[in-house]
Amino acid sequence: MSKVLVLDNVDDICKQILEERGLEVAVDAKLSDEELVEKLSDKEAVIIRSATKLRAPVLEKVSNLKVIGRAGVGVDNIDVDAATKNGILVMNTPDGNTISTAEHACGLILSAARNIPNAVDSLKNDRWDRKKYQGSELHGKKLGIVGLGKIGAEVAKRMQAFGMDVLAYDPFTTHERAEELGVELRDVEELLGEVDFLTVHTPLTEKTKGLVSLKNAEKLKKGIRIVNCARGGIYEEEDLIPLIDKGYVGGVALDVYSQEPPDEKLYELLKHPQIICTPHLGASTEEAQEKVAEQIARQVADAIEGKGFKGSLNGKSIALSTNKEVQPFLELAQKLGEFVAQIAPKNQDTIDLSYTGTCSKHAEVLTDAFLTGFLDESIDEMVNLISARFHADERGLKIRESHSKESEIYSDLITVDLDKDAIFHHFSATPFRDGDKRLVDINGFGIELSLEGHIVLWQNEDKPGMLAAASGKLAENNVNIANLSLGRSKKEKGKDAITAFTVDTPLKPEDIQALEDIDGVHNVSYVSLK
């Protein structure tokens, strides 16, 4: 009989369903790493919420473990790479918390508009402060949503019912999908300056960290109210009180924090009267906890019995990890997706992918890998070979694939074509020996550029002195060039060219501006790869 360990106070329905499926279930509280190793020594599966951390040192010592089930969405507490390396399937329940989190965000928006928490506290302390806590209507106001995935879309639907005009920033949602939701797309800076309320439903990345801070305070619509049920740190927490006191922000409502539970310093910040705070309750409803417990129990039981692998985050990765033929192409496709995501225009409707040579046999999974790299930094859930197409479909992104057996120059080639109005719209890449992944074509210009590190590229007039001018500007700013590649038109020499540098350190806005100021240089683009 297969044995399962259930931790973190997962709803009792989980144990009930597992036992009905003929599994032996042990339930325990939170355990130390040493206790985990001991308890998991004879278990085929473990089910957890967010409290238990399953890291590499534990996963490397539990040889019988086959499945990890996460009763919820986020898997920040699971080392998925280590699990994959050790052949352990990781599963989550991506839909279970959507409605609960969306409803909580809506509740915080209402609370911020009508001063509900402070008014309640006032009355409970024998005060009748009607004038002090006069609020504002939501009807006719503009709501900004950063991240138009499942939760963001549900928030949009609900707040439209209150008569709000909804604007959104999500570079990977198509205009067609936004139109279906009745949402207008904006660039993020436009959004911040236009909306009365802002809610975020996006992961914490280098691009979203500090989305609202004193640094960009002048770009905010004066008196904006901001809500966060996504990830702590998207708003610069230390700046919140100054932003309120200086009148830039009219109110803050938080459910998530950079440190949970908050430390003493953060607790002091949360005492400000214009900051509403809840202890990460977005997914904490009876319905959500029962739903995710039921879902993960059925998924884990199906996986143990070999009946299905719904919710698997690394199933394909495990299956492909021993396939030496496909592995280099998977890595190339994902890295190419990461590159294109940073250089493509926002809100692309269609992406064409073509595969030539040996890699054409693996076209379907390589598209999954490309989308994983393309979407990873913008989705508030794990994006991988299993879930990438789902997230692309959810945002209305259309993918077209084609493949052929032979290439004129390279034995294997992955080619990406974007909408024709994109400045850089055509890219081809191939794997070289020793794991080197290279771009070999941009817009039909032959180029050789390793897909790694910090890359800056631009179009320039094909004339003497251009390379010297660019390298000189970077040298003035103490930027060291590691590699360079030049692409020229084969048909019209002297007309136009593409230049790309790989540099040793991340570029600053002033470094990019210095290149843009060179006469004959245009369309400077910067990409930083993991």
Among 60, 176, 189, 260, which one carries the catalytic annotation? Answer: 260
User: Annotated catalytic, 231?
Assistant: yes
338 φ/ψ sector (left φ>0, alpha ψ -120 to 50, else beta): alpha
Strands 426-431 and 413-417: antiparallel
- The C-alpha atoms of residue 220 and residue 118 are separated, in whole angstroms, by 25
Among 158, 186, 225, 231, which one carries the catalytic annotation? Answer: 231
- The C-alpha atoms of residue 390 and residue 395 are separated, in whole angstroms, by 9
- The C-alpha atoms of residue 429 and residue 437 are separated, in whole angstroms, by 7
Helix (H, G, I), strand (E, B), or coil: what is residue 94?
coil
> Rounded to 10 degrees, what is the CA torsion of 486, 490, 491, 495?
10
Going from the C-alpha of 255 to that of each of 3, 245, 284, 336, the distances in angstroms are 36, 21, 11, 35
DSSP output for 392-452:
HHHTT-EEEEEEES--SS-SSEEEEE--TTSSS-EEEEEE-GGG-EEEEEETTEEEEEES-
- The C-alpha atoms of residue 195 and residue 197 are separated, in whole angstroms, by 6
What are the structure tokens assigned to 256, written together? 């998530």
- The C-alpha atoms of residue 148 and residue 18 are separated, in whole angstroms, by 35
User: Annotated catalytic, 260?
Assistant: yes
Nearest to 349 by CA among 498, 469, 171, 180: 171
Q: Which helix (H) or strand (E) holds 497?
A: strand 497-503
Strands 350-356 and 398-404: parallel
Nearest to 229 by CA among 188, 165, 281, 270: 281
**Strand-pair partners of 445:** 442
Q: What is the largest CA-CA distance in the chain?
A: 83
Among 21, 175, 280, 454, which one carries the catalytic annotation? Answer: 280
* Residue 222 backbone phi and psi in degrees, to 5: -60, 130
- Burial bucket for residue 164 (CB in 10 Å: 0-12, 13-18, 19+): buried
- Burial bucket for residue 166 (CB in 10 Å: 0-12, 13-18, 19+): buried
Q: How far is CA 493 from the centre of its chain?
A: 42
- What amino acid is encoded at 526 in this protein? Y
- The C-alpha atoms of residue 353 and residue 363 are separated, in whole angstroms, by 9
User: What is the CB-side half-sphere exposure of residue 522 using CA atoms within 13 A?
Assistant: 7
- List active site positions: 231, 260, 280
